[in-house]
Chains A and B, each alone.
Chain A
Amino acid sequence: MKKWLQFLVLITSISATSALLASGGFSDNSKQAMPAVANAKWKTECSGCHMLYHPGLLPERSWNKMMAGLDKHFGENASLDDASRDEIARFLALNSADKQDNRRSNRINQSIAAGATPLRISETRYFTSKHDEIAASTFKRKSIGSAANCVACHQAAEKGDFSESQIRIPR
């Protein structure tokens, strides 16, 4: 083989490897994001009053507690017929943070004490550490409302995508 060709092959492989490393590798990337999930009942019923929360944001015990107390859902009556409630509860449990293998769900789950059953994602240690640079007054902006309104800043939150590139904090 000619010397220049050997050199070209070497350069190409080095740049390809570094590109792969820079992107964090393919398999790592897919494990970072919460997977796409779908259930028609969950989608309609759980987005009637608030944004649609991905099941991978809380552990199973939190979802179970939430679905058992829908008549007092953060101060509102969000009662469902039994069949809808049971179907949604099963779906949430199946895709909950402790049943997922992605980095974000794992870290949310690990940040919750074993004896704790939080109902608010914003009360988990993972959430508070990730948002420690956001002032309380920012959350209270009219365009945001509260820390519960993820989608105000995380454009793709309803798909379970909370990556940095999808953040835009409104005025």
Chain B
Amino acid sequence: MRNAYLLLALFFSQQAVAESASSLLKKYELLAKQENAAFVGFAADKGERFFHAERLHSDGKKVSCATCHTADPRKPGKTRANKVIEAMAISVNPQRFSDEAKVEKWFGRNCKDVLERACTAQEKGDFIAYLLSIK
């Protein structure tokens, strides 16, 4: 019986986590439809390519999301100032994508740092879909 309660509690806590990242995905879906009438949905594999895609920054250095977050989103990364960045994969770090303002703040900064432009809703959605898909 005790185990049943535990399982139930676990189930609901996982639901709550999945809920916040997926409710954020719903918001990005609405925005993506506004950006592009032909929007067909988010794809984890596109998010994965986006995460690893290296580009040449105008400062002459090669950058990607993985530069700081490491190639494995289940592992912690490191900022250029030597501070640990918690893992990005939601299975490892359930706090990820649970605070919309925080998510937008970091997309706002990091898209400009890596891509030197803002990210589209499509890119943000694919990115989250990828991080949700990692077991």
Contacts and interface: CB of A to CB of B under 8 A. Distances in A.
Contact of B83 (A51, A75, A76, A78): A51
B81 interface: yes
Contacts of B36: none
Contact of B82 (A75, A80, A81, A152): A152
Interface residues of B, number: 12
B109 A76 contact: yes
Chain A contact patch, size range: 10 to 19
Interface string A22-61: 0000000000000000000000000111110000000000
Best-buried of A47, A71, A76 by chain B (most CB within 10 Å): A76
A69 interface: no
B3 interface: no
A94 B108 CA distance: 29
B121 to A, nearest CB: 19
Main DSSP-derived SS at the A contact region: loop
Contacts of B82: 50, 144-146, 149, 152
A145 B81 contact: yes
Nearest to B109: A77
Given A77-B110, A78-B109, A79-B109, A49 B83 contact: yes
A80 B80 CA distance: 19
Contacts of B59: 75
Contact of B81 (A49, A79, A81): A49
Contact of A50 (B83, B105, B112): B83
Best-buried of B59, B79, B82 by chain A (most CB within 10 Å): B82
14 contacts: A47-B83, A49-B79, A49-B83, A50-B79, A50-B81, A50-B82, A51-B83, A75-B80, A77-B112, A79-B105, A79-B109, A80-B105, A145-B82, A149-B82
Interface of B: 59, 79-83, 105, 108-110, 112-113
Which 8 interchain pairs have the tightest Cβ spacing?
Answer: A50-B81, A145-B82, A77-B109, A49-B79, A77-B112, A77-B113, A149-B82, A49-B81
